[in-house]
Amino acid sequence: MFHRKTFKKLEEIMIHKNFPLRLLFFIVATIPLLYINDFYHHFYVYLTGNIISQIFIQQWHLVVFSILLFVAFLIPLSFRRKTNWMEYGLVSAFFISLFVEMYGFPLTIFLASKYFFVAGVNLPNQIIQFKIFGIGFGMDLAMSYGTVLITIGTFFIITGWLTLYRNIKKDRFVTNGIYSLSRHPQYFGFILIVVGWFIGWPTILTLVMAPVLIWKYIRVSQTEEKELLKKVPEYQGYKIKTPFFI
């Protein structure tokens, strides 16, 4: 009996329309386990401040450019629900403090290096190198992985925005396109971006703020659902058919 129920459950998972997407995310999620030593080394040198010899400081043009780029992703969210500037303020504060520390003044890295810096610690090997605004960048495996998550998250946000924009004049609740695969693709995209930045730049700052932001966006998604269940009669059926995130 147990095996029959288990087999039936697995069969339901396999034929679900989101199965390819879920399989892709499962494969992506296993990468850190396959390269656990590389990821551990990456987190160690950042959280102890040993990365201090390879960071940029006072590159304020990069700070401004990066902040404007990522905060701009907040604008499309207002297409589906009323803008809550307190929510926007929290994620904006995350990006502002993140990029100020990355390219302006890395305060928490300086503080960590003061107490935990160990001379002679090898830094992670760079596997990708490129230039932006004439400044050379290098990414190790974990940072490259974080960039992949950020890219996927950006795809979810932009695709969600385009889907909403194309349906904005139809005066109906949007359930097609990417919203047929996820009830909250843009919030899911933001969570992936936050996780990606935390993995790519794991400092005391992101260690504290990333869990708060993830919790916040899950709560926002749940609040939005309660509002929609009251206002949109067909939302209950949509909720049954479509996964929360994926």
Which of 99, 203, 214 is CA-nearest to residue 149?
A: 214
Q: What is the reported pTM? A: 0.83
For residue 37, pLDDT beyond 90: yes
If asked whether residues 13 and 103 sit together in one domain, one would say no
In a domain, 53, yes or no: yes
Residue 4 has pLDDT above 90, yes or no: no
Q: Name the amino acid, one letter, at 134.
A: G
* pLDDT at 56 exceeding the cut of 70: no
> pLDDT (tens digit, 9 = 90+) per residue, 173-185?
788 888 888 888 9
**What is the distance between the alpha carbons of residues 102 and 105, in angstroms, rounded to a whole number?**
7
The secondary structure of residue 68, as a DSSP letter, is H
Tokens read off for 125? 């090997």
Does the pLDDT of residue 18 top 50, yes or no?
yes
Do residues 6 and 50 share a domain?
A: no
Enter the tokens of residue 196: 């990606």
13 shares its domain with 42 = no
Quote the pLDDT of residue 16.
65
Find the mean pLDDT for residues 51-56.
70
Residues 24 and 47 grouped into a single domain: no
Cα separation, 76 vs 164, in Å, equals 9
Do residue 4 and residue 94 come from a single domain? no
pLDDT of 135-145, one tens digit each?
Answer: 667 788 999 99
Does any domain span residue 113? Answer: yes
Residues 127 and 25 in one domain: no
**Confidence at residue 85, expressed as pLDDT on a 0 to 100 scale:** 47
pLDDT digits (tens, 9 = 90+) for 183-227: 889 889 989 999 999 999 898 888 888 898 899 888 888 888 888
The confidence score (pLDDT) of residue 43 equals: 92
The answer on 39 and 24 residing in a single domain is no
Structure tokens at 203: 């400092």
Number of domains in the chain: 2
- More confident call, 26 vs 170: 26
Q: What is the pLDDT of residue 36?
A: 94
Q: Is residue 246 part of a domain?
A: no
Residues 61 and 80 occupy one common structural domain: yes
Are both 189 and 214 inside the same structural domain?
yes
Q: Could you tell me the residue range of the domain that residue 3 belongs to? A: 1-29
Residues 13 and 100 in one domain: no
